[in-house]
A = this chain, B = another copy of it.
Amino acid sequence: MQWSIQEIARLTGVTSRTLRHYDAVGLLPAARTTASGPRRYDRTALVRLQRILLLRDLGLGLGDIAEVLDTDQGEAEALRTHLVSLRAEQDRLARQIASVERTVAALEKDPDTKEDIMAKDMFDGFDHTQYEQEVTERWGRDAYQKSDAWWRGLGEQGQQQWKARLETLIKAWTDAAEAGLDPASDEAQAIAARHAEWLVAVPGTPGHEQGRPDRGYLLGLADMYVADERFAANYGGTEGATFVRDVLRVYADQVY
């Protein structure tokens, strides 16, 4: 008993193109009568195809399916391995959805609150300020999660205090810049130290566990203060931000 490619297609619900593809990649070779004639499928092929489709519907890739079918490895084992990546993907999706929801909610509130400055400075910094590629791998996406959870946990009062601390810092920076302090001076370096402390207090900050900010993170953030005008605006424009950056660079050279 043999069937043409169309008959197999109708029997199983896949397209003939798919069957040719499976033939081309060797997943389901067709038994041809001649070298380049029409493909013919027998019962063995049909059974194999049904196992293929079952595993495909479960989300396995064609390569994995071939491995399961050709080596005599346990099907259940492969599926359990597959489950792990499915669950990982599920977690990733859940986090992403939560993130999108937060963003939508934030967009619908007034976008010019003090809180927003903070968010720009801290949270966006986590996401996109990265000085070295190697560093990229160390502080993953969960940094945002941690810091966000911490922030909510602070409560109204704690958040107010935090904002006040930020404003004090900013005032110190702008005053120092206007006074024309030497970036290497003790006064300027003191502000840098306070700034580093302020940053590292947040869980999720690269270096939080070590008690001082990651060097690459700090330098990248310093550059970003100058480069991004939204950050720069917080520190008295480009000039002020440049001063902050220079001080932080000296600080980093001395401390690390």
Chain A residues proximal to chain B, CB less than 8 Å: 1, 3, 10-13, 15, 43, 46-47, 50, 53-54, 57-59, 75-76, 79-80, 82-83, 86-87, 89-90, 93-94, 96-97, 99-101, 103-104, 107-108, 124, 127-133, 136, 141, 220, 223-224, 226-230, 238
Q: Is the CB of A96 within 8 A of B104?
A: no
Q: Is the CB of B59 within 8 A of A1?
A: no
Q: Is the CB of B93 within 8 A of A46?
A: no
Q: Is the CB of A12 within 8 A of B58?
A: no
- Complex interface: chain B residues within 8 A of A108 (CB): 76
- Complex interface: chain B residues within 8 A of A50 (CB): 124, 128, 228
Distance between Cα atoms of A89 and B96 in the complex (Å): 12
Q: Is the CB of B80 within 8 A of A104?
A: yes
Instruction: Pick from A12, A47, A79 the residue with the most CB of B within 10 Å.
Output: A12
Quick one: given A53-B128, A99-B58, are A94 and B104 in contact (CB under 8 Å)? no
- Complex interface: chain B residues within 8 A of A58 (CB): 96, 99-100, 103
A-B contact pairs, 22 of them (CB 8 A): A1-B238, A10-B131, A11-B129, A11-B227, A12-B129, A13-B129, A13-B130, A43-B227, A50-B124, A58-B99, A59-B96, A75-B107, A76-B107, A79-B100, A79-B104, A83-B97, A83-B100, A86-B96, A86-B97, A86-B100, A90-B90, A93-B93
- Complex interface: chain B residues within 8 A of A90 (CB): 90, 93-94, 97
Each complex incorporates copies of this chain amounting to: 2
Quick one: given A76-B104, A100-B83, are A220 and B1 in contact (CB under 8 Å)? no
Distance between Cα atoms of A54 and B144 in the complex (Å): 12
Q: Is the CB of A130 within 8 A of B46?
A: no
Q: Closest Cβ of chain B: how far from A163's Cβ, in Å?
A: 23
Distance between Cα atoms of A47 and B59 in the complex (Å): 39
Q: Closest Cβ of chain B: how far from A43's Cβ, in Å?
A: 6
Distance between Cα atoms of A238 and B229 in the complex (Å): 77
Distance between Cα atoms of A131 and B86 in the complex (Å): 31
Q: Is the CB of B130 within 8 A of A59?
A: no
- Complex interface: chain B residues within 8 A of A94 (CB): 90
Residue of B nearest to A96 (CB): B59
